[in-house]
Amino acid sequence: MRLILVWTIVMSISIAHGQSDDQNLGISLNSDQQISMTGIDRFIGYDSYNQLYWVNKSTLYKSGSLGNFEFQELMLGPISHLDLQNPLTVLVFYRETNTLVFLDNRLNEKKRIDFNLIPEFPQVQWVFNAGSNRLWLMDQNSQSLWIYDTQKMQPIFRSPPLLNVEALKCRFNDCIAQTTQELIHLSLYATITKKETFIQGHLLDYNDGYVIVSQENTIFDLKSNQGLNFPEIRPENQINDLQLTQDFLYIYDSNVIRRFPIESIKQ
């Protein structure tokens, strides 16, 4: 992810939620914690135990109070996606070989699923933890989102076709899919619960309180209708990666991970 941050956010853009210019003045966020890191290709984020994960040269690293751990499986290709929702079962997906690896909290392999070998033969684009031995799978062949049971090794729910999906973010019980024209909200049964018109932006992350997107070279929270400014990040720098948790927004740029408290967004 490469997001160029503009020093002065121009919030007169017209977006699909009908914001007025007065609403789009934005809010400045200051970090309360900074960590300098080198040798990071991708910042993944922190799990619920405050353990830090990152990827460098196709190797996954984890560091924190439990110690330092790493996982590498070069035969599967580059790491495409990780899910940290359950720190005891970290999901590492390799799109190039259509394979998912399950890791324990010390990054030891527990099991793997080669989707090329299952009867439905999905071409998986994204995979997330859906809890209770289930996965969210976005299948490119059917262009639908599956709830997949890893014990029965079969899909138990499938969404209607979701055409032109550009981004997908999922939690245990719900998902948001971004297409070229809208944000589509889905329930834990893969049914569509809401659609919102959304163009010329990119879905970054969400939770109960926030939906964070990039739009016109800005970071924006759709729920509070606020543009987000980061005075500590120089205008010539790039935001390399971003993670939203319940209380913080983590941003990695120029070898620094900054933690921004986000409670002020809704004030």
pLDDT at 11 over 70: no
Over range 114-128, report the average pLDDT. 95
| pLDDT for residue 258 | 96
Q: Give the model's confidence band at 5: pLDDT under 50 very low, under 70 low, under 90 confident, else very high.
A: very low
| pLDDT for residue 195 | 97
Residues 112 and 95: their CA atoms lie apart, in Å, by 13
Higher per-residue confidence, 93 vs 19: 93
Q: Give the model's confidence band at 106: pLDDT under 50 very low, under 70 low, under 90 confident, else very high.
A: very high
pLDDT at 154 over 90: yes
For residues 13-48, one letter each, b for 16 or more C-beta atoms within 10 angstroms of the residue's C-beta and e for the rest, the string is bebeeebeeeebebbebebeeeeeeeebebbbbbbe
| pLDDT for residue 17 | 40
The residue type at 82? L
Over range 220-224, report the average pLDDT. 91
Angle at 204 between CA 169 and CA 54, to 5 degrees: 85
Q: Give the model's confidence band at 159: pLDDT under 50 very low, under 70 low, under 90 confident, else very high.
A: very high
| pLDDT for residue 72 | 97
Higher per-residue confidence, 243 vs 6: 243
Q: Give the model's confidence band at 217: pLDDT under 50 very low, under 70 low, under 90 confident, else very high.
A: confident
| pLDDT for residue 267 | 58
Could you tell me the CA-to-CA distances from 224 to 22, 27, 139, 204, 262 in Å, in that order? 13, 11, 32, 15, 11
Output phi, psi for 52, to 5 deg: -95, 135
pLDDT at 32 over 70: yes
| pLDDT for residue 26 | 82
At 15, which helix (H) or strand (E)? none
Least confident range from 62-76, 192-206, 209-223, 230-244: namely 230-244
pLDDT at 255 over 80: yes
For residues 99-125, one letter each, b for 16 or more C-beta atoms within 10 angstroms of the residue's C-beta and e for the rest, the string is bbbbbebebeeeeebebeeeeeebebb
Residues 166 and 164: their CA atoms lie apart, in Å, by 6
Over range 131-141, report the average pLDDT. 96
* Beta bridge partners of residue 24, listed in sequence order: none
Angle at 176 between CA 207 and CA 13, to 5 degrees: 85
